[in-house]
Amino acid sequence: MAAGTQHIAAVSGVGGASPSRAGPAPRVSLKGIRKIFGSHQALRGVDLDLYPGECLGLVGDNAAGKSTLTKIISGTYIPDDGTIAIEGKEVRFSGPADARSLNIEMVFQDLSLCDHIDVVGNLFLGREISKGPFLDTATMLAEARKMLDALEIRIPRLTAKVEKLSGGQRQAIAIARAASFNPKVLIMDEPTSALAVAEVEAVLALINRVKAKGVSVILITHRLQDLFRVCDRIAVMYEGTKVAERDIGKTDLEDLVKLIVGEGSKQ
Amino acid sequence: MTTYTERAQGSAAADFLAEHAQVLSIAFFFFACLVFFSATTDTFMALGNILNVIRQAAPILIVAVAMTFVIITGGIDLSVGSQVALVNAVAAIILAMGYPWPLVVIVMLAFGALVGFLQGWFTAYQGIPAFIVTLAGLSILRGFALYLTQGYSIPIKDAPGFFALGRGELLGLPVPALIAIVIAVLGYVVIRATKYGRQVVAVGSNMEAARRVGMPANWIIASVYLISGVACALAGLLIAARLGSGSSNAAVGFELQVIAAVVLGGTSLMGGRGTILGTILGTLTIAVIGNGLILMHISPFFTQIVTGAIILIAIWLNTRIFTTNFSFGSGRRK
């Protein structure tokens, strides 16, 4: 499988703290991204490359700029400076719809679900199947069941309003929505924070599965042990900058923790 | 040995009750009012009276259906009474100039759309709270109506086709009531079964989520005020056709009746939750109470007190008894 060999090439052809590779061109390439909110410099010039079929772990303390960076890739925020290139072509998003049309999907930390709409409606939010102006509820219901079954997500009643569901079920719906429409880039901001053991396993399995299909994944998580099970590379953010990039084989928990809290430079 | 069992699925009846508690409670209240007034007056259930009630309720129902859309997006339109009055007055002025009535109807509906869109533009694209935009609209539009008519009532003469809109009957039903029923059915279908309706609910439920999945959130917000403007124009025309005149003093306090009807129907002022069926029942409940109290020979001044008290009680029952996990306050949003 092409994606599999790419994956191996990506892992083997690297070395050092800042890996350079001769493999495939990056799918997403960020250069000098800056974002300022009022007087707060959220991002101070971040470069980041994301390759097809890899999972990049994005770690850092709270307010390090992880969420802001991923929201820029998903078009939710517009950067003040810097460039975004998707598959070599420079793009300028004017909103989330632009990013979505390039198959960039994101699971937001706040999940971005509509509480008053049922499970099916939330899964198809923004891409409702319709016959003329009318919603095709029957088709969407059948498709939604297939989507959830494929991800081994168990929700008994798909016509229940999302507000009635547990935190874990809500999170599962947000993940299913992002993962089910053939994304090329899948960004997950704390996707496992409210999930139970079996569900976390399912999400990690999902990440490995979509990776094998060539999807580029960005995973933000505070559960560092998860990173070692799915990620190929880890980027560490600190105070709005990227301070380190590590290949997963060349780092360990201790090293990561030091980098996150800012003791990496003292080594 | 541990045995694993699946949790039983909740009963469908309980799910149904929980999901439709709002509509069921207002339906219960409506039928209680019907029974009460049938028992206490001789004339309430007479066909003539029933037709009269629905004829008078028609303009409120038309605007309440549009207001349901507005409130589902989390907005409010306080200017509906003034919009009705302005259309009412302008229509009479143009008819008095001798223009044919079908043209006047079309022009007035377009005018309502324009006025509504202007308010929607300020709300959606300029980020001014709907309460403020439409409060300004309430004052400005009523002012225009007063200025144009100088406070006088403008008679409409020799337009039998136009009068039929307000006074005529078709299949034994008053024409305004038929129009209101068509609008209500249309509103019901749009909110329940169309992509646009889904977008309206999504924007009201979680605007940022709707934006993030690529919905044209600003346009949807603006569009509900446009719909409200068209509905007000239609209501203004029906009132002019029924009374045979246009007046800047038409529909005073109309916005409060409309908002009361919508809220009584279980639509949440916080947005996201609302049904057209509830709005229909809310409108009819208010109309029936007003009518029934008059038939009981209770002072008309007393009607306002009773109507207000019933709104408070009905919604209190709704929030505290019929549903345990529902509240109007800030606790709604997590």
C-alpha angle B12-B17-B23 in degrees, rounded to nearest 5:
140
Please determine, for residue A12, whether its predicted confidence score (pLDDT) is greater than 70.
Answer: no
Q: Is the pLDDT of residue B77 over 70?
A: yes
Question: DSSP string of A212-240?
Answer: HTT-EEEEE-S-HHHHHHH-SEEEEEETT
Q: Which of A60-74, A188-202, B235-249, B282-296 has the lowest mean pLDDT?
A: A188-202
Q: Please give the residue range of the domain that contains residue A72.
A: 2-10+24-103+182-266
Summarize pLDDT for B290-311 with one digit per residue, the tens.
888 888 888 878 877 887 887 7
- pLDDT (average), residues B255-280: 89
pLDDT for A37-69, tens place per residue?
988 888 998 999 999 989 999 998 888 888 899
pLDDT value of residue B5:
63
CATH number, domain with residue A6? 3.40.50.300
> Is A84 part of any domain?
yes
**pLDDT at B141 (0 to 100):** 94
Residue A140 belongs to a domain: yes
Tell me how close the Cα of B194 comes to any Cα of chain A, in angstroms.
4
The average confidence (pLDDT) of chain B is 87
Bridge partners (DSSP) of residue A244 are A236
- How large a percentage of chain B has pLDDT more than 90? 48
Distance CA(A62)–CA(A76), nearest Å, equals: 19
The dihedral built from the CA positions of residue B209, B215, B220 and B222, taken in this order, carries a sign that is positive
Domain assignment of residue A177, yes or no:
no
Q: For residue A137, which residues of chain B lie inside 8 Å, CB to CB? A: 193
pLDDT exceeds cutoff 70 at B233:
yes
pLDDT value of position B167:
84
Q: B202: distance to nearest CA of chain A, Å?
A: 6
Q: Count the domains in chain A.
A: 2
B contacts of A135 (beta carbons < 8 Å)? 193-195, 198
- Quick check: A114 and B206 CB within 8 A? yes
- Yes or no: say if B258 and B180 are a contact pair by the CB < 8 Å rule: no
Quick check: A139 contacting B, CB < 8 Å?
no
pLDDT over threshold 90, residue B279: yes
Better-scored residue on pLDDT, A159 or B84: B84
Residue-level pLDDT at B130: 92
Query: Which of A100, A101, A116 is the closest to B205 by Cβ?
Result: A116
pLDDT at A256 over 60: yes
Same domain for A192 and A76?
A: yes
| Closest to B154 measured CA to CA, from B109, B238, B91 | B91
pLDDT for residue B157? 83
CA distance B234 to B231: 5
Classify burial at B157, counting beta carbons within 10 Å of its beta carbon; exposed 0-12, middle 13-18, buried 19 or more: exposed
Predicted pLDDT at B238: 93
Whether B5 contacts chain A with CB within 8 A: no
| Interface pTM, i.e. ipTM | 0.80
A112 touches B: beta carbon within 8 Å: yes
Would residue A249 count as lying in a domain? yes
- Contact indicator for B159, B101 with CB cutoff of 8 Å: yes
- Is pLDDT above 80 for B215? yes
Residue A96: predicted pLDDT: 87
Q: Assess contact for B74 and B271: CB atoms under 8 A.
A: yes
Residues of B in contact with A134 (CB under 8 A): 193-195
Say yes or no to pLDDT of B42 above 90.
no
Per-residue pLDDT tens digits for A122-142:
999 988 888 888 988 889 999
Residue at A239 is within a domain: yes
| Cβ contact A138:A158 at 8 Å | no
Q: Which of B7, B16, B212 to mutate to test the interface with A (most CBs of A within 10 A)?
A: B212
Reported confidence tier of residue A5, pLDDT bands at 50, 70, 90: very low
Residue B205 touches chain A, beta carbons under 8 Å:
yes
- Same structural domain for residues A99 and A127? no
Query: Residue A4 pLDDT > 70, yes or no?
Result: no
Q: Are strands A134-135 and B245-246 parallel, antiparallel or unpaired?
A: unpaired
- Taking contacts as CB-CB distances below 8 angstroms, the residues of chain B near A113 are 206, 209
Beta strands across the sheet bearing A241-247: A104-107, A185-189, A216-220, A55-60, A233-238, A241-247
Look at residue A36 and give its three-state secondary structure.
Answer: strand
Domain match, A189 and A215 both: yes
Cβ burial, residue A19 (10 Å; 0-12/13-18/19+):
middle
pLDDT band, very low/low/confident/very high, at B9 (cuts 50, 70, 90): low
| Closest Cβ opposite residue A97 in set B15, B214, B272 | B214
Q: Is residue A71 part of a domain?
A: yes
- Find the CB nearest A117 among B10, B196, B202: B202
Query: If we measure between CA atoms, which residue out of B159, B158, B14, B156 comes closest to residue B93?
Result: B156
Closest CA of chain A from B152, distance in Å? 45
Do A86 and A208 reside in the same domain of the chain? yes
> Which positions ≥6 away from A218 have C-beta within 8 Å?
A50, A55, A56, A58, A70, A73, A185, A186, A187, A188
Class of B43-323 per CATH? mainly alpha
pLDDT score, position B187: 95
Same domain, A186 and A99: yes
Give the per-residue pLDDT at B321. Answer: 58
Look-up of token digits 């998707």: A86
B103-120: per-residue pLDDT in tens? 999 999 999 999 999 999
Q: For A135, which of B9, B193, B215 is closest by C-beta distance? A: B193
Residues A147 and A200 reside in one and the same domain = no
Task: Write out the H or E segment, with its range, that includes residue A82.
Answer: strand A81-86
Same domain? A78 vs A118 = no
Name the 3-class secondary structure at A180.
Answer: coil
Residue B222 scores a pLDDT above 70: yes
* A262 and A153 fall within a common domain: no
Could you give the C-alpha distances from A152 to A203, B205, B310, in angstroms and in order? 9, 27, 49
What are the angstrom distances between the C-alpha of B216 and each of A88, A121, B125, B230? 29, 17, 11, 21
**What's the pLDDT score for residue A21?**
52
User: Does one domain contain both A201 and A148?
Assistant: no
Evaluate whether residue A211 is within a structural domain.
yes
Say if A172 falls within a structural domain: no
Do residues A184 and A215 make contact, with C-beta atoms less than 8 angstroms apart?
yes
Map out the domains of chain B as residue ranges: 43-323
pLDDT in tens, A76-98: 899 999 999 998 889 998 888 88
Q: What's the gap in Å between the CA of A106 and the closest CA on chain B?
A: 9
Inter-chain touch A128–B211, beta carbons under 8 Å: no
- Rounded to whole angstroms, how far apart are CA atoms B145 and A228? 71
Convert the pLDDT of each residue in A210-252 to its tens digit: 888 888 999 998 888 888 889 999 999 888 888 888 888 888 8
> Is A1's pLDDT higher than 70?
no
Angstroms from A246 CA to nearest CA on chain B? 31
> pLDDT, tens digit, for every residue of B135-167?
999 999 999 999 999 888 888 887 888 888 888
